[in-house]
């Protein structure tokens, strides 16, 4: 069955910035390669360029400005209301730069994915490319994982390795990692939309079996 003929999974995408992964998802859905219906794009930053990408694609662009709330719990409650108004089957974090409360994460248990620019568990958090170079690693990359209350610590679904080349700086490394993200993230979301990917007892399962990290060519 082609992606175009499948039921389209309703998703909401959360962003904080440029939205390059968002654009990849928009384009893949428009080509019929990704069986999803992007119900809304939500950002915690009003100036995020990804909101403009959403508007150009005719997708509702919603701002829940974290600066307008007294703390994380109040912001997360407002964010949850904004997401749930669109009844998504999956919440996709695509460069969403907020640490989420355990209560928020629990609400979307098993139906929230994140993309992280490192080979987890290495280099959790920010500035992954600079830190990878400073550590002198020979391989870097990207990970897609289910979101849990532990920062960048949820079960990994898939990874793609990127060699660190002589002369690399953080920018050149980031560009190659981002190119891998644009291939890997839609693939993983397609697995979820097709019902192949699930979270069971805190294990990522693909086709009923524990996923083999770095097995990304299926």
> Hey, which residues are catalytic here?
116
Paired strand residues for 115 = 144
Do 165 and 139 meet the contact criterion of CB atoms below 8 Å apart?
no
Rounded distance, CA 120 to CA 142, Å? Answer: 8
Exposure letters 183-215 (e unless 16+ CB within 10 A, then b) = ebbbbbbbbbbeeebbbeeeebbbeeeebebee
How does strand 112-116 pair with strand 139-146? Answer: antiparallel
Do 93 and 14 meet the contact criterion of CB atoms below 8 Å apart?
yes
């Amino acid at each position: 069955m082609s992606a175009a003929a499948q039921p389209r999974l309703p998703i909401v995408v959360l962003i904080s910035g440029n939205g390059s992964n968002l654009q990849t998802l928009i384009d893949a859905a428009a080509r019929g390669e990704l069986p999803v219906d992007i119900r809304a794009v939500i950002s915690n930053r009003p100036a995020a360029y990804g909101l403009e990408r959403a508007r150009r694609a005719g997708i509702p662009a919603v701002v829940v400005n974290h600066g307008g709330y007294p703390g994380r719990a109040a912001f997360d409650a407002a964010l949850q209301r904004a997401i749930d108004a669109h009844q998504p089957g999956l919440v996709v974090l695509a460069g969403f730069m907020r640490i989420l409360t355990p209560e928020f994460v629990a609400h979307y248990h098993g139906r929230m994915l994140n993309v992280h620019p490192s080979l987890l568990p290495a280099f959790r958090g920010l500035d992954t490319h600079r830190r990878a170079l400073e550590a002198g690693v020979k391989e870097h990359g990207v990970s897609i994982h289910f979101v849990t209350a532990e920062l960048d610590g949820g079960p990994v679904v898939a990874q793609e390795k990127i060699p660190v080349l002589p002369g690399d700086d953080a920018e050149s490394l980031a560009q190659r990692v981002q190119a891998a993200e644009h291939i890997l993230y839609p693939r993983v979301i397609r697995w979820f939309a097709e019902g192949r990917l699930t979270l069971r007892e805190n294990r990522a399962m693909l086709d009923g079996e524990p996923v083999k990290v770095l097995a990304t060519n299926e």
